[in-house]
Amino acid sequence: MQVWCDVNLWESIDRVLHQNYNMDAVMFSLLQQLTICQSELFVKILWSLWKRRNLKLWQQKNETNMQVVERATYFLEDWKSAQII
């Protein structure tokens, strides 16, 4: 939850969570309500949280919330740079 607060998405996520009961509906509803930039950030943060989970589970590495956000931010910037033709 703190990571989502750090990137100013928690309020939107929390609102959608209170309206929907299954995860598919939550994801689609949230992506429809967010701007394109927010949607990109949401997806990258989600991926980065999953990466943190796997690092903890398989390599016993702990990451801070800041590391999660930084990885997502850099990954998103790299992805955007790769899209420029």
User: What are the pLDDT digits (tens) for 61-83?
Assistant: 999 999 999 999 999 888 888 88
Q: What is the count of structural domains for the chain? A: 1
> Half-sphere exposure (CA, 13 Å, Cβ side) for 29?
15
Helices and strands in the chain: count of H runs, count of E runs: 5, 0
Nearest of 26, 11, 6 to residue 68 by alpha carbon: 6
- In the predicted model, is pLDDT for residue 9 greater than 90? yes
Per-residue pLDDT tens digits for 30-48? 999 999 999 999 999 999 9
Give the mean pLDDT of the chain.
93
Structural domain harbouring 78? 2-83
